[in-house]
Structure 1
Amino acid sequence: MTELAKVTVFYDGQCPLCVREMRHLQTLDHAERLHLVDIKQPQFNQQFPDIDAKQADRILTGINTDGRTIYGLDVTYAAWHAVGRGYWIAPLRWPGVRWFSDRVYLLFARHRARISRWVMGRSDCDSCRL
């Protein structure tokens, strides 16, 4: 039996909201289809030289099951789909909705520290590792 391809998600391990979502995804990942990588880990650039950590800090970056680099809500959809819950995110990828949801995501990504402070009471965390 061949191993299923994993979806790799490069996330900000110092963002409380990002870590919270990755933890939730981990609890749903019974088939171990996700590979979650903290872009703030010390050896990130050596381990993933093809991924620009600064860009991945601006917009969620991932690698889908085909090995193609994907960004933003496409990563979110791929991750949730990998754990069997893609239907939660699917409407955000529908034509007509996609353009709007991508812009809202970019706004969220740009202001995620402020949003984290508002939602979780802190904008960053050094001990939020998975």
Structure 2
Amino acid sequence: MIPEELRYTEKHAWVLRTGEERVRVGITDDAQERLGAIVSVQLPRVGDVLTAGQRMGQVKSTQAAFDVYAPLAGKVVAVNDELAATPGEINEDPYGLGWLVEIDLTDVGELDNLLDPAAYQELASQG
């Protein structure tokens, strides 16, 4: 399942535009499926300033650790604190309750650099 309203990165993150300059970010269903049961999440702090491609956190499962990279440059304005207690939300609802952070973008134009659903589907199908 690859939601049409989202944009994606080659590093298996999804991006949802939630405001004029704000996006919500998480990891894709494909990424969580490959990881298996998620047991912990490390996220940036509110106020952190990120550059596109910068490591911003990590998701750990019983099988592996997965570094999460900022899809776009901006300032972290919200983190999903619920994941500290219930990291499995990423497995159960990666595009909803399993979101990771919200970012106020430095340059909204960077959204054009992300993959559309068809391009991400092709990437994900290549393994």
**Superposition TM-score, scaled by structure 1 size:** 0.31
Higher helix share: 1
Higher strand share: 2
Which of structures 1 and 2 has the bigger CA Rg?
1
